[in-house]
Each structure stands twice: as C-alpha cells, then as structure tokens.
C-alpha cells in the first residue's frame, strides 16, 4: 500500500449541543501526503553507532581459537593461556581465569588511537577486589609493564571495587560506581581533548560514573593490545567474562552509550 493511502483518520469534534455530538472524520492530512514516517531517534542512534567504529569483537564464534573482528581482519584475536567461551549478554562471550588466559591482538595500526576515542563492552568480574594492583580487562602495554594509549582495570589500590581508566601508566579517571562480583555491567569510557588537556568519562550501565577533566598526562605510545591482561605484560590478569567489545575513534555521546545497551535487549 502506498503511504499516501494509509487509512490514517483524524477525528475532529465539530459540534456538540449537549445531547448530540457530531464528529467529522477527515482523512485530509493523509490525502495531502503528510505522513508521520519520520525516523525514530532510536534508529538514528543505531546508525550512528557504526560511525567511527574501528573494532568490534562479538566473541560469537562457536569454536576454534580465533576471535574475529567485524571491522578489520588484522584485528583478529586469538585465545591464549586457556581462555574459554561461555554465554554472554549478547550471544557468546569469553571467560578468563585470572591466571594466564587472554585474547591476544597485538599491534595492528588501526588500534593506534592517540586522540579522541571510546571503548565499551559487557564485563563480569568473578572477584572485583582480587589484588592490590587490580585486574586489567584490556589495554595497550609493553612487555615491561609500560603503559600505552589506553587501559581499563578494576580493583586498583584503594579503589578496590571501582573501574579505573589509565593511559601512559597513570590512573586518570575512576568510576563512582562500585562493582559487585558475579554481575554483568556495560562499562566503558570516552576520551576527548588534546596534548596537555584531556577529558575522560567512565560510563557504567549507560550512566556517566566518573568524570576527569583537564588531565595533563598525555596519551602514551601505541603498544601491543590484549584483553584479559594489559597488552604484552605478563601480569594483572583478569578473572571474569567479556562480551560485545567495541572501540571507536571518537567519543560517543551519552545517548549513543545508552543505545549500546539496547543491543543486549534486541538480540
Ligand atoms: Ca557475543
């Protein structure tokens, strides 16, 4: 059916004398072609979630050791150190044992993100407060522990139940939210700014939960990237699960962060 001829009816109360009401049915608006087929805000946001997407690991493979990236083949990861697969909020997920397991990606040029960026994923910690120096869920780090452009950790130092974002070896932003062990959260951060003046916002379950502005620590160099531990560093292993991990080369808006959670509800 052509949209101009949809049976859209407008009722107008044309006359009322107390005992009898006369109603006029008009299809005038439809006949003139004024339809209400404007795109919804949700679909607008859904389209924008593909803008600037530089990595998207769904972890939905049913078998094998490859973790495919939906954006760049060079960002395909590999399960190492006994990493296993499990069910997550959006299809399948990966599970880290906190000992040696990780997803190794390495140093593809496309993950070199020295400026604005975002990274978001579903995360479940088996034991949030497991160690003094925390657990690194993902990040860029050299083999000696030197920090690169971005890392996301939980349970660091006195922030035993919080999320911490680091770059260039410095804790630059801490969440207000305190995580509980064994629960899934949608967690990520955005970064904007320029050398000498950076901003970082941590989001937990779609809400801003920790903001740091005027960060003077500059972004570190591009270094090897991994999930389940900080890059090439043999330590700070994460015990828990990870699903639907996305990285952008821009800062998502608060509305876009909220829309990302809907992916869980619509699949
Ligand atoms: Ca998945």
Residue-range domain boundaries for the chain:
3-38, 43-266
Q: How far is the CA of 85 from the centre of ligand 1 (A)?
A: 10
- Residue 89 has a pLDDT of 95
Radius of gyration of the chain (CA): 24
Q: How far is the CA of 106 from the centre of ligand 1 (A)?
A: 21
Residue 152 burial (CB < 10 Å; 0-12/13-18/19+)? Answer: buried
What is the assigned CATH class of domain 43-266? mainly beta
8 A C-beta contact, residue 247 and residue 54: yes
Check residue 124 and report its DSSP letter: E
Nearest to 104, CA basis, from 233, 190, 240: 233
Q: How far is the CA of 52 from the centre of ligand 1 (A)?
A: 20
What's the whole-number mean pLDDT along residues 141-147?
96
Query: CA of 188: how far to CAs of 1, 2, 37, 236, in Å?
Result: 44, 44, 34, 19
- pLDDT tens per residue, range 175-207: 999 999 999 999 999 999 999 999 999 999 999
- pLDDT tens per residue, range 214-266: 999 999 999 999 999 999 999 999 999 999 999 999 999 999 999 999 877 55
Read off the tokens for 137.
Answer: 């869920």
Q: How far is the CA of 244 from the centre of ligand 1 (A)?
A: 5
8 A C-beta contact, residue 139 and residue 166: yes
Q: How far apart are alpha carbons 133 and 230 in whole angstroms?
A: 12
Q: How far is the CA of 226 from the centre of ligand 1 (A)?
A: 17
Within 10 angstroms of residue 84's Cβ, the number of other Cβ atoms is: 12
Q: How far apart are alpha carbons 259 and 161 in whole angstroms?
A: 26
Q: How far is the CA of 59 from the centre of ligand 1 (A)?
A: 5
Q: How far is the CA of 89 from the centre of ligand 1 (A)?
A: 7
- pLDDT tens per residue, range 124-141: 999 998 878 999 999 999
């Amino acid at each position: 059916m052509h949209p101009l001829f949809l049976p859209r009816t407008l009722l107008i109360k044309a006359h009322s004398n107390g005992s009898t009401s006369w109603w006029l049915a008009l299809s005038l608006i439809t006949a003139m072609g004024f339809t209400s087929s404007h795109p919804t805000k949700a679909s607008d946001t859904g389209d924008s979630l593909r803008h600037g997407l530089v990595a998207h690991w769904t972890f939905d493979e049913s078998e094998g050791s490859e973790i495919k990236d939906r954006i760049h083949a060079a960002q395909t990861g590999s399960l190492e150190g006994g990493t296993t697969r499990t069910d997550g909020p959006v299809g399948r997920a990966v599970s880290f044992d906190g000992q040696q397991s990780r997803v190794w990606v390495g140093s593809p040029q496309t993950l070199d993100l020295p400026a604005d960026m975002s990274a978001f994923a579903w995360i479940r910690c088996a034991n949030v407060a497991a160690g003094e120096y925390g657990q690194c869920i993902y990040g860029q780090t050299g083999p000696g522990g030197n920090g690169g452009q971005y890392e996301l950790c939980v349970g660091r130092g006195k922030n035993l139940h919080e999320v911490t974002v680091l770059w260039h070896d410095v804790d630059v932003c801490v969440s207000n939210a305190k995580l509980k062990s064994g629960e899934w959260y949608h967690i990520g951060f955005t970064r904007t700014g320029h050398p000498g003046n950076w901003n970082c916002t941590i989001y937990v379950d779609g809400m801003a939960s920790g903001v740091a502005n005027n960060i003077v620590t500059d972004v570190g160099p591009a270094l090897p990237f991994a999930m389940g531990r900080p890059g090439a560093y043999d330590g700070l292993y994460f015990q828990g699960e990870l699903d639907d991990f996305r990285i952008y080369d821009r800062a998502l808006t608060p509305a876009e962060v909220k829309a990302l959670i809907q992916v869980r509800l619509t699949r």
